[in-house]
Structure 1
Amino acid sequence: MTPTLRSFPGGLAFVDIETTGGPAQRESITEIGIVQVDEDGVREWSTLVRPASRIPETIQRLTGIDDDMVADAPRFEDIADEVFDRLDGRLFVAHNARFDHGHLRAAFRRAGLDMRPQVLCTVKLSRRLFPDHRRHGLDHLIERHGLAVADRHRALGDARLLWQFWQKIHERFPPGHIDAAVRELIGHPSLPPHLDPEQIADLPDTPGVYLFYGERGGESSQLGGNDEADAEAEADPLGPGRARTGARDRKRHAPLQDLPLYIGKSTRLRSRVLSHFAADHSSDRELSLSQQVRRIEWIATAGEIGALLKEAELVKRLQPTHNRQLRRNRELCTWRLATDIVGDWRLELVHAADLDFGRRDDLYGFFRTRREATNRLRALARDHALCPPLLGLEKPPQGARCFDFQLKRCRGACHGGESPQAHALRLIEALHALKVEHWTWPGPVGLREGEAIHVVDGWRWLGTATDEAMLADLLEAGRPAFDHDIYKILVKAVRRLPVVQL
């Protein structure tokens, strides 16, 4: 029986190419060899390809392919459709697969085609199956497994060697063992039964945000919902200016019966989504998610920062059932260091809804609740020998000394043993690590990421613009509420991305 993978009913394609040694961005392929393997048997195919430049003598000596041999060979664009058909739907297997796959994918793009196969590198597979061996080059596999060599360094000859290697490992290991190793290496999923495979095929391997939806009122509703978030999701799940999604009708909003399950982000959308399903055998959370997902949508972003911002915004707006962080926090508060009418320093707890966090220079720490803020201040008082009554943590003592002074945890500011100025300076020093970043620009600025501009004002993200009209709309729109998660993303972003004055 022909050894194939149950996970790939479309079959396998063992691929090797020869090149001029030039980069993938140029027409450098000189030969392609493919061994197709499926339940119908084994078929071989190869062709010489005419590159855009001469073949260096060193490459001619290695491969035996010279300029005369390829002078009348077809250009890649002339055979692109045939090569695509031989690879389409199959697992792409190659040695140092990044090289072969990278050159072919670049050549396909120049020909107006987009090839996105699952790719298996036999170097990585050999390392996984034979970890005791240090070297896994093709010559080492030939010697180690007794492979029959013919036309070494020619495309079809090397593709045949990979097919031989595949047969050898199936003689040594049970198919399930190899299947598991391959799936782990390529992240190939056991796709959820109710998920259309076409949605996976549409996913790009670019930065962005992905959304998993389940059926409202079905199994996924047992996880608990949020009526307010549900209403928002029904009204407009992705918001204005939404990008492409994984559905065939890319302008369709989420149906009313769809329930947001999970929102994630990645710099490589397709790989990240596939990893959810590849891990469903080992994680209860991933297994639960894969059983409930019915539909996937995605939003492409200019880069990592755009993905982080969009994820934070969508999680708070849609309230997906599986996200546990990045949730709304209406009690967000901070300590404000102020002076009273006689000039003494005092702390007061203020909430995000009550002042413009981003434009103040006297705020320290962000806390989800008053209790968290108070506990953090108590810890600072203990670690820095500050006086709890002077911090407002306790009522002033009846006598001259506070209880912490009696325990030698206060330096005596409560009864004149330490000057108010010295205590205030030590308080400021203790609070320094919690200081909220001050917005130093007089108005909104843009953070440039690729072709996009993230518009920011007072640590509030107004949105992302890709043209002048979008930018004008964002600058005229009202500012959103302060959001701690957005703040953390933006504080790091202003150090990484170019700042544009608007």
Structure 2
Amino acid sequence: MADQPLASPPAPAPFREPLVFVDLETTGANPVRDRITEIGIVEVSAAGVTQWSSLVNPGIPIPPFIQGLTNISDEMVADAPPFADLAEEVLGRLKGRLFVAHNARFDYGFLKNEFRRLGLKFHATVLCTVKLSRKLEPQHHRHSLDALVERHGLYDEHRHRALSDARLIHQFWDRLHGKYAPEPIWAAVETLTQRPKLPPHLPPEALDDLPELPGVYLLYGQEADGEPLYIGKSSNLRQRVFSHFSGDQKDARDTAMAAQVYRVEWRETAGELGAMLLEAKLLQAHRPSLNRHQKKGGELCAWQLVQEAPGDFRPRLVLADELDFGRSPDLYGLFNSAKEARNSLKKIGDAHHLCHVLLGLEKQRPGKPCFGHQMHNCKGACCGKESLSQHSARLMAALAKLKIKEWPYAGPIGLVEKDDFSSTTDLHVVDHWAYLGTAQREEQVWEILQQQGSRPAAFDQETYRLINKAIAQGAVEVRELTPPVQPA
């Protein structure tokens, strides 16, 4: 059913403190890479209610999907002022007021980044009306702005434009005051706007800009140039980082972090695959003291089948720091220690009636079969009752599930990952199961490959698993990378 005008506007909420209801339209979802295209502000003060809005020239193209959603085109913003020309005006309207928005971290994050680019500081107490709706009306499952419009009978004729949506948020605020007494509303506001508890050595504004986006975070100690204490990933950086400092840490590492953290850095990614790849690479490079590590470096190993004689293949233990696992054929396993590798091979041998002598797990006794044959668990390849080629074939079949997949491409590839709005695309550059880096622009791809040069990147077990799984499941687009043609 089409929207209908309200028979009468909602009664205004009683004034308690200055408020601004804010909505933005943008070129995408990433506050670092995307830009604002429109600002709408409804101001509430003791003097009454005023409203202000402006289109903004973002300086970059607006993706077609966003143009269709907002009805804001590149032509409409071509003659609009850039944010730099509006910054003082916007700052004056926001300063000293409770910042109210729907999915407020989105709008607040974009504005903070725009102000930062101009060297201006902006901090505000932020109230998210999604969270306010959930807090006051937990019986409802949907709290999107569309859901609130339907549930509370809100109306504005220019839906999905900045000022229109800001007015809808203001209407929602007034509707709440017509439905509930002021005390529970402001009790909810106080709860939702309380600053999270931070480590004692972090300044209050240190985590204001943490986005609710995928990425990797690094926690540092007191030394300015020291190694990170902890590295983690999340699909929601803000939520995950604050969970470490919630004040009710059950994990001893979180307690240690809260006492030791002096600085937090983060790196956003377009999606979860990029976050996992970057985390694996950083963990391998830094090995932070508060992360749990399975084993010390240099112990990753695998079994390689080596042909001792025609048709006679034997397993040989090889180490990742001695052999490039990404470029070597006939590898099986991936184990964190030689002991783990031998135990696994023994179980496989016993399950498939293979000879422990030929597996290298037992010494050959001259003129005698292996111990397993005496126990009727070996088919006699050690004493001529089974041919070596038959034993080798059974060994290969038994190890098949453990085979490390050989690199199926002629050279490096790019794994394409997009964010929810498809306005940001990350291209993860990978070669022989090694993650080399991530590019957002074409020229960055070749910079990454040139930096790598002819040196093979170190093979990492977790990175191999992530890339292999993503490709096998079709979770990402695979783009084979062909070097650009150099001008003559």
**Does the alignment reach a TM-score above 0.5?**
yes
Contact 1:380 1:430 in 2 (8 A): yes
Alignment CA distance shift 1:49-1:443 (3 Å)? closer
Q: How does 1:121-270 map to 2 (within 5 A)?
A: 121-132=128-139, 138=148, 159=170, 161-162=172-173, 165=176, 168=180, 171-172=183-184, 175=187, 189-203=196-210, 208-215=215-222, 254-255=224-225, 258=226, 260-266=228-234, 269-270=237-238
Distance in 1, Cα, partners of 2:345 & 2:211: 47
Q: How does 1:366-381 map to 2 (within 5 A)?
A: 366-381=334-349
Give the residue type in structure 2 aligned to 1:15: F
Residue 482 of structure 1 is matched in structure 2 by: 459
Cα offset, 1:88, TM superposition: 5.2
**Stretch of structure 1 that moved more, 75-84 or 390-399:** 75-84
Distance in 1, Cα, partners of 2:349 & 2:93: 71
Contact 1:141 1:165 in 2 (8 A): no
Residue 8 of structure 1 is matched in structure 2 by: none
Distance in 2, Cα, partners of 1:12 & 1:371: 67
Alignment CA distance shift 1:134-1:434 (3 Å)? closer
Distance in 2, Cα, partners of 1:302 & 1:326: 28
Residue 15 of structure 1 is matched in structure 2 by: 21
Contact 2:36 2:110 in 1 (8 A): no
Cα offset, 1:329, TM superposition: 1.8
Q: Secondary structure at the match of 2:244?
A: helix
Residue 324 of structure 2 is matched in structure 1 by: 356
Distance in 2, Cα, partners of 1:443 & 1:394: 41
Cα offset, 1:134, TM superposition: 6.0
Distance in 1, Cα, partners of 2:189 & 2:170: 19
Deviations 1:45-90 (Å, cap 9, x if unpaired)? 32264779xxxxxxxxxxxxxxxxxxxxx99978764444444576
How well do the aligned residues superpose, as a CA RMSD in angstroms? 5.1
Distance in 2, Cα, partners of 1:398 & 1:47: 96
Give the residue type in structure 1 aligned to 2:464: Y
Cα offset, 1:281, TM superposition: 2.4
Contact 1:16 1:159 in 2 (8 A): no
Cα offset, 1:349, TM superposition: 0.6
Cα offset, 1:305, TM superposition: 4.9
Contact 1:439 1:458 in 2 (8 A): yes
With the length of structure 1 as denominator, give the TM-score of the two structures: 0.63
Cα offset, 1:392, TM superposition: 2.0
Q: Secondary structure at the match of 2:345?
A: helix
Cα offset, 1:280, TM superposition: 3.8
Distance in 1, Cα, partners of 2:335 & 2:24: 60
Structure 1 alignment gaps of length 5 or more: 5-10, 37-41, 53-73, 144-148, 217-253
Corresponding position: 1:500 with 2:481: yes
Structure 2 alignment gaps of length 5 or more: 1-13, 57-79, 418-423, 484-488
Distance in 2, Cα, partners of 1:100 & 1:330: 43
Give the residue type in structure 1 aligned to 2:401: A
Distance in 2, Cα, partners of 1:349 & 1:34: 71
Distance in 2, Cα, partners of 1:328 & 1:378: 24
Alignment CA distance shift 1:160-1:76 (3 Å)? farther
Distance in 1, Cα, partners of 2:150 & 2:240: 33
Contact 1:455 1:474 in 2 (8 A): no
Residue 486 of structure 2 is matched in structure 1 by: none
Cα offset, 1:173, TM superposition: 8.8
Distance in 1, Cα, partners of 2:128 & 2:444: 41
2:42 counterpart (33, 38, 43): 33
Contact 1:14 1:160 in 2 (8 A): no
In the comparison of the two structures, how many residue pairs are matched? 413
Distance in 1, Cα, partners of 2:353 & 2:189: 62
Contact 2:35 2:110 in 1 (8 A): no
With the length of structure 2 as denominator, give the TM-score of the two structures: 0.65
Alignment CA distance shift 1:271-1:84 (3 Å)? farther
Residue 285 of structure 2 is matched in structure 1 by: 317
Corresponding position: 1:332 with 2:266: no
Alignment CA distance shift 1:381-1:79 (3 Å)? same
Residue 235 of structure 1 is matched in structure 2 by: none
Distance in 1, Cα, partners of 2:438 & 2:22: 43
Give the residue type in structure 2 aligned to 1:478: R
Bigger helix fraction: 1
Cα offset, 1:118, TM superposition: 7.4
Cα offset, 1:385, TM superposition: 3.4
Cα offset, 1:339, TM superposition: 1.6
Contact 2:42 2:50 in 1 (8 A): yes
Q: Secondary structure at the match of 2:321?
A: helix
Contact 1:16 1:100 in 2 (8 A): no
Distance in 1, Cα, partners of 2:396 & 2:96: 64
Q: How does 1:404-483 map to 2 (within 5 A)?
A: 404-405=372-373, 409-415=377-383, 418-444=386-412, 455-463=429-437, 466-467=443-444, 470-471=447-448, 473-476=450-453, 478-483=455-460
Residue 49 of structure 2 is matched in structure 1 by: 45
Deviations 1:434-493 (Å, cap 9, x if unpaired)? 111212445555556677765544434455565487346425363344333343344346
Deviations 1:71-127 (Å, cap 9, x if unpaired)? xxx999787644444445766434xx14996699599969x8898977654344443
Distance in 2, Cα, partners of 1:25 & 1:335: 52
Contact 1:462 1:474 in 2 (8 A): no
Give the residue type in structure 1 aligned to 2:285: R
Corresponding position: 1:388 with 2:356: yes
Alignment CA distance shift 1:134-1:308 (3 Å)? closer
Q: Secondary structure at the match of 1:171?
A: helix
Give the residue type in structure 2 aligned to 1:336: Q
Q: Percent identity?
A: 39
Distance in 2, Cα, partners of 1:310 & 1:159: 41
Contact 2:230 2:289 in 1 (8 A): yes
Q: Secondary structure at the match of 2:206?
A: helix
Cα offset, 1:500, TM superposition: 0.5
Alignment CA distance shift 1:329-1:472 (3 Å)? closer
Q: Secondary structure at the match of 1:350?
A: strand
Deviations 1:120-174 (Å, cap 9, x if unpaired)? 543444434544456765479769xxxxx99999866862652673794763599
Residue 259 of structure 2 is matched in structure 1 by: 291
1:341 counterpart (306, 309, 312): 309
Give the residue type in structure 1 aligned to 2:50: S
Distance in 2, Cα, partners of 1:264 & 1:104: 21
Distance in 2, Cα, partners of 1:213 & 1:99: 28
Distance in 2, Cα, partners of 1:163 & 1:142: 10
